[in-house]
Amino acid sequence: MIEYFGEFIGTFILILLGNGVVANVSLDKTHSKGAGWIVITAGWGMAVFVAVVTTADISGAHLNPAVTLGLAFSGLFEWIKVAPFILSQILGAMLGASVVYLFFAEHFKITETPGSKKNCFCTAPAIRNYRSNFFSELIGTFVLVFAVLLIALPQLDYQTLGSAKVGMGSLGALPVALVVFAIGLSLGGTTGYAINPARDLGPRIVHALLPLKNKDNTDWPYAWIPILGPVAGAGLAAAVYLFIVSMS
């Protein structure tokens, strides 16, 4: 159970800091209102760093269903633990989004633009084209999961395969954080780079439930993109990783 709690609290920290930086930039009368995309991408990268460092020794710090599935597809994680890990991640993301709302409650009250509020919870496409949006999430997640497999597990002892603690590891926290930063800078502008189904779905549920003033539509017709796109990207990353392993 401690492993599942690690995923829960780690994803909570990830969303608290990640969606927190979006709230800082998007909501009215914060000191960093309008600080821009660089601040958001840097904030998300550092959110990954803090969340991984604090939970790597507890659960392996997957903090992302795409990472969990990528490890499972690669034979590096037990399938029986996949569903509990993903559920823990989604619940942690929901708590993180809820605390962001409470933390910025006064700023949510005075912000009139519905989209600015929704941005603090979930992603949305810059140009709505489901095929293109799906491709964006697939490629962004491929880069992330492929990096996790090759950076965080370079000296993997194959007798440990299936261990619940096979994951990013604390030593991989900074490299993976920089990968997330790079993805945001280079590929994030099309969809807001969810690259993590729990990161989008959990906060989207919270947005749907909260009694926000001037509330925007939660946009459920789009919600499948940041879920299935990352799953497909994780599968592609695992396939390429296994090809490399087979050739080495």
| CA separation for the pair 59, 120 (Å, rounded) | 27
**What's the pLDDT at 171?**
61
Q: How is the chain split into domains, by residue range? A: 2-247
**What's the pLDDT at 46?**
97
The stretches in the chain having pLDDT less than 70 are 152-171
| CA separation for the pair 228, 123 (Å, rounded) | 14
| CA separation for the pair 238, 39 (Å, rounded) | 31
**What's the pLDDT at 168?**
57
| CA separation for the pair 100, 17 (Å, rounded) | 8
At position 216, the amino acid (one-letter code) is D
With contact defined as beta carbons under 8 Å apart, do 103 and 20 qualify?
yes
With contact defined as beta carbons under 8 Å apart, do 22 and 63 qualify?
no
With contact defined as beta carbons under 8 Å apart, do 241 and 150 qualify?
yes
With contact defined as beta carbons under 8 Å apart, do 84 and 68 qualify?
no
pTM here? 0.93
Give the model confidence (pLDDT) of 126-157 as tens digits.
999 999 999 999 999 999 999 999 876 654 54
Q: Is 200 helix (H, G, I), strand (E, B) or coil?
A: helix
CATH of segment(s) 2-247: 1.20.1080.10
**What's the pLDDT at 152?**
61
**What's the pLDDT at 155?**
47
**What's the pLDDT at 158?**
43
**What's the pLDDT at 160?**
46
Round to the nearest angstrom and report the end-to-end CA distance of the chain: 36
